[in-house]
């Protein structure tokens, strides 16, 4: 493809993208979103705040580390300075070292959790939605702030990612294996990518290869894009 043709195509796609974006933004602002925008995925998240439950659990978890560490340090001094102690000095050094490490880990954990409760980061709760406009082949992920410490942020609309689908677009499955003992399950995230831009379409836990391929085909047909080869990308994050 010539450079001139590539520039021309990029300009045309940018024009389509801006048109669709303006239409969606107007709909989000007025609360009247066009039927042409189909909701593909939606989720709600929050950041900041006191996180009372999580930080309380963290404090409870780390307090025994402090107590055990101080006990070990105390025992090491008893071994070292007690006239009745027959334990070797080496044992006192080992006990002191283990106790110091445990106490430092405990203090660090408690300081972090208590600090978040006493002086929390600004709270923000938002809803993110993935919209698809079939006519314009426009896919976007939009964030709307629902609640925040700063009242001025409430209602803010941010376009996180945007894609005008083309032959460059492709679907793949990001696979993250679960932890041992099934504490955390496998995750299969179906993602559409276009160059450096990626948007997650769907997410599942345990899937066999046959089912994974079937889901990818459904998205491929719905969005009119190809399936990446290989389909699965293994991630350990």
With respect to residue 176, please indicate whether it lies within any of the assigned structural domains.
Answer: yes
CB-side neighbour CA atoms (13 Å) of 120: 14
Q: Return the pLDDT at 64.
A: 87
Torsion of CA 211, 213, 219, 223, to 10 degrees: -170
Q: Return the pLDDT at 102.
A: 86
**What CA–CA distance (Å, rounded) separates 9 from 212?**
33
Using an 8 Å Cβ cutoff, are 145 and 124 in contact?
Answer: yes
With respect to residue 14, please indicate whether it lies within any of the assigned structural domains.
Answer: no
**What CA–CA distance (Å, rounded) separates 24 from 32?**
9
User: Looking at the structure, do residues 173 and 232 belong to the same domain, yes or no?
Assistant: yes
Number of separate domains in the chain: 2
Q: Which residues of the chain have pLDDT under 50?
A: 1-9
With respect to residue 107, please indicate whether it lies within any of the assigned structural domains.
Answer: yes
Q: Return the pLDDT at 7.
A: 40
With respect to residue 69, please indicate whether it lies within any of the assigned structural domains.
Answer: yes
Q: Return the pLDDT at 12.
A: 54
With respect to residue 29, please indicate whether it lies within any of the assigned structural domains.
Answer: no
Last residue of a domain, one of 118, 139, 154: 118
Last residue of a domain, one of 103, 118, 133: 118
Q: Return the pLDDT at 6.
A: 46
Q: Return the pLDDT at 177.
A: 86
CATH number at residue 206: 3.30.420
User: DSSP assignment, residue 62?
Assistant: H
**Whether this model's pTM surpasses 0.75:** no
With respect to residue 193, please indicate whether it lies within any of the assigned structural domains.
Answer: yes
- Helix ranges (H only) for 36-149 are 52-81, 89-118
With respect to residue 5, please indicate whether it lies within any of the assigned structural domains.
Answer: no
Crossing angle of helices 89-118 and 52-81, in 10° steps, is 160
With respect to residue 227, please indicate whether it lies within any of the assigned structural domains.
Answer: yes
Q: What range does the domain containing 97 cover?
A: 52-118
């Amino acid at each position: 493809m010539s450079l001139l043709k590539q520039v021309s195509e990029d300009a045309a796609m940018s024009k389509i993208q801006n048109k669709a974006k303006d239409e969606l933004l107007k709909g989000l602002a007025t609360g009247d979103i066009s039927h042409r925008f189909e909701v593909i995925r939606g989720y709600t998240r929050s950041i900041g705040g006191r996180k009372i439950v999580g930080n309380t659990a963290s404090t409870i978890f780390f307090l025994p580390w402090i107590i055990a560490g101080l006990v070990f340090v105390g025992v090491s001094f008893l071994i070292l300075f007690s006239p009745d102690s027959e334990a070797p000095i080496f044992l006192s050094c080992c006990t002191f070292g283990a106790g110091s490490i445990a106490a430092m880990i405990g203090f660090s954990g408690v300081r972090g959790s208590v600090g978040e409760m006493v002086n929390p980061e600004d709270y923000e709760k938002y809803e993110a939605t993935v919209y698809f406009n079939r006519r314009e082949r426009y896919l976007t992920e939009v964030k709307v702030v629902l609640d925040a410490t700063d009242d001025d942020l409430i209602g803010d609309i941010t376009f996180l990612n945007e894609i005008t689908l083309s032959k460059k677009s492709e679907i793949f499955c990001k696979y993250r294996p679960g932890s041992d003992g099934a504490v955390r399950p496998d995750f299969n995230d179906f993602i559409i990518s276009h160059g450096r831009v990626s948007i997650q379409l769907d997410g599942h836990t345990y899937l066999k290869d046959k089912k994974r391929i079937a889901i990818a085909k459904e998205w491929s047909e719905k969005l009119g894009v190809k399936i990446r080869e290989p389909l699965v990308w293994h991630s350990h994050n």
